[in-house]
Structure 1
Amino acid sequence: MIQRNLLFFISAFLSVAILTSCNKKELEIVQKENIELKEEVNRLETELSDLKNSGEIRFKQAVSEKDKGNYQEAIQILDSVIEGNPDTPIQKSSEEMKNQIAGLIEEQTKQKEDEYNGVIEAASNQKSYDDSIEVLNSYLKKNPEESYKTKVDEKIKEYKGLKNKPPLELLKSWVTFNSIGNPEARIRLKNITNKSVDAFDVKILTFDNYNQPVNHYLYKENIFSGVSQDIINPGITTGDNYYWTLHGHDNTTKIKTVLVRVHFTDDSVWENPNWSQEVEKQRWSF
């Protein structure tokens, strides 16, 4: 009985040993195959990478970027092709394409510059500052990423400032007297716009040496309406050579002026919405 059990135990032990030996060999085979497969994958990946980075493939990528309008990306690819393929036909082709792209960039830059200049001119030819601003905003909507955006934004800001500012800057108001002692109102002003003025209206407030209002002897107000229809070109200061004789305001020695309206040669008009309030505020004392 003991011998039988011993024989059984030995037989079982040998079977396990044989099975373990077989499994170990199979595992070694699988591991070896895995190593070989991994090496093959690495080799293929290297070949694929080399293929992707070959001059011909990279050149085609550059062509694709150029056709899409991505000129800077195309130039970067071509530079790498030129550097990696010296003294080869693909290097020559890459250099030729770089020159072609440079021409396209120059043409594109000129086109954008012409478009910008055209928009600025169109804005300056509008009859109102609101219309000028609308022209520039329309340009920005179509070209939000343009390199000229900063300049256009500055121009819009300028027009907004002009919109809320009188186009004629009143620099000085004073009184002279003609040969028979009649007072004459004179004003010096400057056209601060980019358009020519051909008429303007002012209210002239008359005062005496006591700084008191000098009312007209008929209608009892110290308000004189002055109109000029002289041409005042952009940036020009004028006024010293013309005047308004203040008939009916004989004791006037001092004046104030309020700009009411300005007419431009393009038939546009600027109006001071607050002129009556300004007159009422300033008319009572110098």
Structure 2
Amino acid sequence: MLFPVVKEQKKSIYCEECYNENSYFCETLKKLKDKFTHDIVIYADVALDPYNVYGHDGIYDEKKREIINDISVHTLVKQSLCLAKCGVDVVCPSDSMDNRIEQIRKNLDFYGFKNILILSYTCKYASCMYTPFRSILSSNISHNFVKNKQSYQHDANNYIDLNNVKKHIKEGCDIVMVKPSLFYLDIISKIKSKLDEGTKVPIAVYNVSGEYVMIKNYVKSLNKDLNYENEILTELFKSYLRAGANIIITYFAKQYGLYMLNLYEKRIKVDDNSSSNFNVEITL
């Protein structure tokens, strides 16, 4: 899944850069698609915060101090169409605006992108676990950057509204997602158990930057090696699968993928993956 980091001078109130087909981000997408074609599936974030001078996921009215939902959705539709033209296979609206899934699906279909999938950030909580990622995005962002998005992201104190999940599916999303992951396994489980048996929509889970840092710092504090860290990841990822997730999005993807390849080549079962069995050297 790809996210843009946008220069300050490219940001604006109405986020026009997000649908600029000649932007650095879009040119990168085109080159990836041209080089790898069918060898990779490209997921790309759909949201306005990287392009927004205020750092919000939607168009912000400074006078009223509120997000303008309908204008935001219109811009997100334009962004989704732009990404589809540039070779993205799965658009991932992470913005939490109302009715954006329906509008994105309708417009993708109308303009001939019926095969483009939509991964909806169906359950995106206003969490403390995003800070490392946001610090990267905000490293050169103006003083207007807004860290609190509680007016449109889900309240971490509340249970999930399953009607909202079903609404997104009805509007045309192909994958639903829960973010963050570690403290929300109950949400994954509830979605899995409550979806109709005939509903074959995969559930994705996002192992976010704060969770990544927690594991990295824990392993470092114990002076343990990468093999030990991968054992932790195996335990963590299995918990996602037990809860009902079908797709795991993680910053550990390359590291853990190489680890699993090593297991496969040495014919070691994942259940026997204690660090005493083998040694893995991974260059990241």
| Fold shared, TM-score > 0.5 on shorter chain | no
Which of the two has greater strand per residue? 1
> Could you state the TM-score of these two structures normalised by the residue count of structure 1?
0.21
Which of the two has greater helix per residue? 1
* Bigger radius of gyration: 1
> Could you state the TM-score of these two structures normalised by the residue count of structure 2?
0.21
